[in-house]
Structure formats: C-alpha cells, structure tokens
C-alpha cells in the first residue's frame, strides 16, 4: 500500500541505503503527495536523526506551503519570521527539510546535480487531456462486435457451450463447458489508444491488455495446445496445464509456457520485441532460434533481426508499471516517453525540432491528466502545447 511504501522509503533513505531510483521515487511523492502518512514517517525517522543543515528561506516556504501545508496555520507570523532563516527544530518540518535538501530532488533527469531548491517548476498551460481507462471492443466469431466499456454487467453472449460475461469488476470472463464436438470459434478483444482491459480466458488464464493492443483467442481450448495471438503489449498469468502448452504468437515470435506470469511488448512502432518473465519459465522462439527464460530475465528481439538476446536481472517493476497503474522511466529518451503518452492519452505527437538525446528517470501515476506528466518533463527545458488531439513538442 502507499502508506507502507512511504514508510519503507523514508526509513531506507535515513539509513543511507536508498538507490538512485528510490530517491527519485521518494522525491516525487514528497512533491505530489503531501499527506499525513508522509509527515508521520518523517517525524518518526527524525527522532533518531541529527543534522546541522541550514534551511534557506525559499526552502522553508516550500516546505511550509507544499510539503506540510497544515502546519503553517499552527505557527504565528511572528514565530515564522523569527525562525525561517535558521534550522527548524519542529520535527516534521526539520525532517522534511533535511530530506529535501539532501535528496536534491533528483527529478526526471539522468543527473544528480539538479536540486529543485535552485530551480522553479515551470508553469505548463495546457488544455488538459484526461487519462485512459477500461475501454475495449470484443469482436465475435460472426464478425459482430460489442463495446465493452459501455456494455452492462452480466451475460453478454453465448457462443456454443461458452458463456461470455462482464463481471462487476469490469473484466471479461469466458466460461467454457468443455464440449469438444463444437467447431472452434475465435474472438478478438482490442483496446484503442487510451484503453486497457482485463480478460479471463476459457482455461482460467488471466490476461491484461495495455493501450492499443489486441488478443485473438478461441472460445474454448481444444487439441494439444492453447494458442493465442497478440499485438501491442499484454501481460499473462497462465493457468498451469502440462498436457496443453500455452503459446503466445507475437509478430513472428512464439512464446511457449505451461503455466507462468510474463509480459510481452510487441508494438509495431517499437524497434524491439520484449518478453519479460516474472514467474515460472518460458521458451521464446523465432526463425528456428530459441531461448529459455528464468524469472527476472527478458528476451529482446530487434524488428529487423531474428537474434534473441537474453537480459539478466531486468527491472521487472519498470516492465510491469503499466499494469500497476504507473509510467516508470529509467534513462528513457523523450521519443520513448512520448510514444507511451501517445498510446495512453490517445494523442498524436508532433516534434518541432530534434527530440535530442537527454534521458529521463522517474515514476508517475497513469491516472492523472497529461499536464502532470508535462509539468515534470518541462523541468528539462522541453516545451509542450496541445492543439486539438495533437501534442506539439519543442525540445
């Protein structure tokens, strides 16, 4: 939970054990989520921490008005003017001050020399765009379609002995009776830009589709294998069945499993197809070549190549951030970031000039308007404006 994460990161920071990514994450939360949980965590850590850090007036104002605004009302103007240029001894203010000053707020740069105390966060004036949500279209075997986001909960359709329902949670659930005499019928679930969806397949496997993705599958699995086809980005939690391997076909690549958790990113506008394994094992095959993955590994195949490159100790949190409701970047360039924004906010991105080679690191919730993302990215000097459904980027 959020509260526990704040406590964990705060304690780790004061112990001097935070990684760069964790410092960035904590700094981001401090700026965007000033709440009681953060104040309490800071106060607890401050009890066992000493510092001679001096707080400049600008930072004192920031902490009083942004980090813990409720405390401003408890201090008289006289007390505030008297103490603002010296070290605050009141626990929560002092702890927050030390934390921010020493963090330097490693915002979204690939650098450690950009303290926010020396910068001002630029105003980003945009006609705001809301985030994506649970949106998808189900196409049935006869070619008819159902808009899932507007469909009512309950039974949607019956296809032979398989009933298709929309649960109260908004997920699409297939319940097959196991009749093997019926002809195989294929369905397709496709999410638009700005959409995502969760599906439970006839064998009980769970599937999550990211924006601008699709999944084609049979309404009942028969024969010696369970085969599905995808585009875009899809996360699988496959029900175990030793007698019937589960095979995912993405472009010209096959990913074969018995039962496991893994993510496949195969967007047509990305240069690399990625298969990331979280649990179990998978076999990735292409053009007669194959590689076995163990948890924490990722197979990468470039679009114009059949070579399979296996990466050890991949950052699975980053790869799964989209499913968990976040954008997470680690030394990502502007082009990579804007492709993700384009899919999730359903916009076209237009560059005025060269995007450049600067990289960004950080994490943001995907449930916020696009202006929240741009507010942080603008710290690098990149400018954004919105014209209709287009985002104009001026690096």
- Percent of the chain whose pLDDT exceeds 90: 51
Based on the fold, state whether residues 89 and 206 are members of the same structural domain.
no
pLDDT level of residue 180 (50, 70, 90 thresholds): low
Instruction: Look at residue 385 in the predicted model and tell me its pLDDT.
Output: 87
Q: Could you give the CA distance from residue 354 to residue 394 in angstroms, rounded to a whole number?
A: 8
State both tokens at 263: 């993510």
Average pLDDT, the chain: 78
Based on the fold, state whether residues 167 and 258 are members of the same structural domain.
yes
Q: By 3-state DSSP, what share of the chain in percent is helix, strand and coil, each rounded to 5?
A: 25, 30, 40
- Spatial CB neighbours of 270, under 8 Å, sequence gap ≥ 6: 303, 339
Instruction: Look at residue 194 in the predicted model and tell me its pLDDT.
Output: 97
Domain of 385, CATH number, reads 3.55.50.30
Last residue within a domain, chosen from 318, 350, 366: 318
Instruction: Look at residue 199 in the predicted model and tell me its pLDDT.
Output: 98
- Structural domains of the chain, count: 3
State both tokens at 315: 């950052």
Based on the fold, state whether residues 308 and 252 are members of the same structural domain.
yes
**By three-state DSSP, how is residue 72 classified?**
helix
Mean pLDDT of 172-176: 94
pLDDT tens digit string along 218-256? 999 988 999 999 999 999 999 999 999 999 999 999 999
Q: Could you give the CA distance from residue 305 to residue 296 in angstroms, rounded to a whole number?
A: 23
Helices (H), the chain: 2-14, 20-32, 36-46, 57-62, 77-83, 91-103, 316-319, 334-345, 370-377
Mean pLDDT of 355-378: 81
- Least confident span in 16-30, 118-132, 229-243, 358-372: 118-132
pLDDT tens digit string along 66-112? 333 433 333 333 333 334 333 333 444 444 444 443 443 333 333 33
Per residue in 270-289, is it b (16+ CB within 10 Å) or e — as a string? eeebbbbbbebbbbbbbeee
CB atoms within 10 A of CB 211: 25
Q: Is residue 126 part of a domain?
A: no
Q: Could you give the CA distance from residue 38 to residue 92 in angstroms, rounded to a whole number?
A: 9
Q: Which of 304, 275, 280 is nearest to 290 (CA)?
A: 275
- Least confident span in 112-116, 201-205, 283-287, 362-366: 112-116
Q: Is residue 378 part of a domain?
A: yes
Q: Is residue 203 part of a domain?
A: yes
Based on the fold, state whether residues 308 and 334 are members of the same structural domain.
no
Last residue within a domain, chosen from 291, 318, 345: 318
Give the domain extent around 208: 133-318
- Spatial CB neighbours of 134, under 8 Å, sequence gap ≥ 6: 148, 149, 170, 195, 196, 197, 198
pLDDT at 181 over 80: no
Based on the fold, state whether residues 268 and 211 are members of the same structural domain.
yes
Based on the fold, state whether residues 183 and 94 are members of the same structural domain.
no
State both tokens at 327: 């954008």
pLDDT tens digit string along 147-165? 999 999 999 999 988 999 9
pLDDT tens digit string along 262-295? 999 999 999 999 999 999 999 999 999 999 999 9
Q: Is residue 128 part of a domain?
A: no
pLDDT tens digit string along 125-134? 446 899 999 9
Based on the fold, state whether residues 19 and 164 are members of the same structural domain.
no
Mean pLDDT of 137-148: 96
pLDDT level of residue 32 (50, 70, 90 thresholds): low
Based on the fold, state whether residues 309 and 329 are members of the same structural domain.
no
Greatest mean pLDDT among 37-41, 97-101, 298-302, 379-383: 298-302
pLDDT level of residue 33 (50, 70, 90 thresholds): low
Which residues are 393's β-sheet partners? 351, 384
Based on the fold, state whether residues 164 and 36 are members of the same structural domain.
no
Instruction: Look at residue 59 in the predicted model and tell me its pLDDT.
Output: 38
Q: Are 135 and 194 in contact (CB under 8 A)?
A: yes
Greatest mean pLDDT among 29-33, 52-56, 111-115: 29-33
Q: Which of 119, 63, 54, 118 is nearest to 92 (CA)?
A: 63
pLDDT level of residue 331 (50, 70, 90 thresholds): confident
Based on the fold, state whether residues 281 and 235 are members of the same structural domain.
yes
Q: Could you give the CA distance from residue 384 to residue 381 in angstroms, rounded to a whole number?
A: 10
Last residue within a domain, chosen from 318, 333, 366: 318
**By three-state DSSP, how is residue 263 classified?**
strand
Following DSSP, what letter does each residue of 210-258 receive, concatenated?
Answer: -TT-EEEEESS--TT-EEEEEEEEEEEEPPP-TTS-EEEEETTEEEEES
Q: Is residue 382 part of a domain?
A: yes
Q: Could you give the CA distance from residue 26 to residue 103 in angstroms, rounded to a whole number?
A: 9
Based on the fold, state whether residues 15 and 164 are members of the same structural domain.
no
Based on the fold, state whether residues 309 and 331 are members of the same structural domain.
no
Instruction: Look at residue 356 in the predicted model and tell me its pLDDT.
Output: 76
Mean pLDDT of 1-28: 68
pLDDT at 124 over 90: no
Q: Could you give the CA distance from residue 361 to residue 110 in angstroms, rounded to a whole number?
A: 6
Q: Are 277 and 298 in contact (CB under 8 A)?
A: yes
Instruction: Look at residue 391 in the predicted model and tell me its pLDDT.
Output: 92
């Amino acid at each position: 939970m959020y509260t526990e994460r704040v406590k964990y990161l705060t304690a780790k920071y004061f112990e001097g054990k935070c990684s760069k990514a964790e410092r960035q994450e904590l700094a981001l939360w401090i700026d965007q989520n000033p709440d009681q949980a953060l104040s309490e965590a800071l106060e607890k850590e401050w009890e066992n921490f000493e510092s001679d850090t001096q707080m400049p007036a600008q930072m004192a104002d920031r902490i009083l008005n942004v980090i813990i605004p409720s405390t401003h009302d408890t201090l008289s103007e006289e007390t505030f003017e008297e103490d603002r240029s010296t070290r605050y001894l009141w626990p929560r203010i002092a702890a927050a001050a030390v934390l921010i000053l020493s963090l330097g707020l490693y915002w979204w740069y690939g650098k450690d020399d950009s303290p926010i105390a020396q910068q001002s966060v630029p105003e980003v004036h945009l006609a705001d765009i809301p985030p994506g949500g649970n949106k998808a279209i189900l196409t049935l075997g006869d070619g008819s379609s159902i808009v899932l986001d507007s469909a009512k909960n309950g039974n949607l359709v019956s296809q032979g002995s398989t009933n298709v329902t929309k649960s109260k949670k908004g997920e699409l659930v297939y319940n097959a009776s196991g009749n093997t005499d019926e002809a195989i019928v294929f369905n397709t679930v496709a999410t638009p830009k700005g959409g995502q969806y969760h599906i439970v397949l006839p064998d009980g496997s769970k599937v999550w589709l990211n924006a601008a993705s699709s999944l084609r599958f049979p309404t009942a699995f028969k024969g010696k294998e369970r085969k599905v086809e995808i585009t875009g980005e899809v996360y699988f939690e496959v029900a175990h069945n030793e007698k019937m391997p589960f095979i995912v076909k993405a472009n010209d690549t096959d990913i074969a499993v018995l039962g496991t958790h893994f993510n496949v990113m195969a967007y047509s506008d990305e240069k690399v197809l990625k298969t990331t394994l979280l649990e179990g094992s998978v076999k990735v095959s292409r053009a007669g070549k194959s590689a076995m993955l163990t948890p924490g590994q990722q197979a990468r195949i470039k679009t114009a190549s059949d070579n399979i490159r296996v990466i050890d100790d991949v950052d699975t949190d980053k790869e799964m951030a989209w499913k968990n409701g976040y954008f997470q970047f680690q030394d990502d360039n502007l082009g990579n970031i804007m492709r993700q924004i384009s899919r999730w906010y359903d916009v076209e991105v237009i560059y005025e000039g060269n995007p450049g080679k600067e990289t960004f690191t950080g994490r943001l919730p995907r449930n916020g308007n696009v202006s929240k993302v741009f507010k942080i990215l603008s710290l690098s000097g990149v400018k954004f404006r919105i014209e209709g459904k287009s985002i104009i980027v001026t690096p």
